[in-house]
Structure 1
Amino acid sequence: MSVKYTLSEKGNPSNPNAPKKWYASAIADGELSFRELSKEIAQGSTTVSDTDVMAVLNDLIKILGRNLSSGKIVRFGDFGSFQLTITSEGAATEQAFNASLIKNPKIQFRPGKDLKDITKTVTFEKYKR
């Protein structure tokens, strides 16, 4: 199975006079729902049902959120890690800075080795409309 992509022509924002170039963008080719994910995990085990897996994953989401919001990095072994990142507006002095200048909190995922290795073997196919 290949990752599908489309092409779009884009200009260089820092040099509007430069010739436009063509760039690839990956496109999604379906999705796996939470329920389908749970069923697939359960199929790999003879001891848990998809309902059990869903319950564990629901708790995982709650625990992940609670720990990220307290500033912790949450590591999932070989799967990868999650961390909250932020950006902020600038202040003229350190004393002038306050938390209201912090904007755009995001959750960053850093894949573990096995997931990173997938990027070395993935193939690509131009999307046919």
Structure 2
Amino acid sequence: MALKYKIIKQEVVDKVGITKDVYYARACDRSKVDLNELSKLISRMSTVSRADIIGVLTAFSDIIPSLLTENRTVQLGELGTFSLHMKSDCVDSKEEVTWRCIKDVNIRFRVGKELKNQLKDIHFQRVDE
């Protein structure tokens, strides 16, 4: 199966103020897989029931936030790693750095090497509208 993409046109203004059109590729025709469908797919590949898989995946999604807020990194084998990252204001001295400097906290996911390698051989299919 190929990853489908479409061509997107966007107007940009260059450094001297001239507007021009640029084009780029964007993935399209995506569909979501919800917890029920995911549990059915996993159940077909294993001896575990769909209900048990739903229970494990629900518990997994419940435990991740508490582990991250305990300043822990969650590594999922070859799948990848979840961790928290923060953005803060810059100040002039160490004494000025407080929790008030922290402006944003995000969850990051770093893809594992094996998963990255599996995506290297991806094929693409242009979809014309």
Q: CA deviation at 1:111?
A: 1.2
Letter in 1 for 2:7: L
Runs of 4 or more above 6 Å deviation: none
Q: CA deviation at 1:12?
A: 5.7
Give the 3 Å change call, closer, same or farther, for CA 112–95 of structure 1 in structure 2. same
Calculate the TM-score normalised by the size of structure 2. Answer: 0.85
Question: Aligned ranges for residues 1-129 of structure 1 at < 5 Å?
Answer: 1-10=1-10, 15=15, 16-17=17-18, 20-46=21-47, 48-129=48-129
Q: Gapped runs of 5+ residues in structure 2?
A: none
Structure 2 contact 75–81 (Cα < 8 Å) conserved = yes
Q: Report the count of equivalent residues.
A: 128
Letter in 2 for 1:72: R
Give the 3 Å change call, closer, same or farther, for CA 99–122 of structure 1 in structure 2. same
* Distance in 1 (alpha carbons) for counterparts of 2:39 and 2:22: 42
Calculate the TM-score normalised by the size of structure 1. Answer: 0.85
RMSD: 2.1
Q: CA deviation at 1:20?
A: 4.2
Show CA shifts across 1:21-53 (max 9, x none): 32112235111111100111111112x111100
Q: Gapped runs of 5+ residues in structure 1?
A: none
Which protein has greater RCO, CA pairs closer than 8 Å, 6+ apart? 2
Give the 3 Å change call, closer, same or farther, for CA 92–56 of structure 1 in structure 2. same
Letter in 2 for 1:30: S
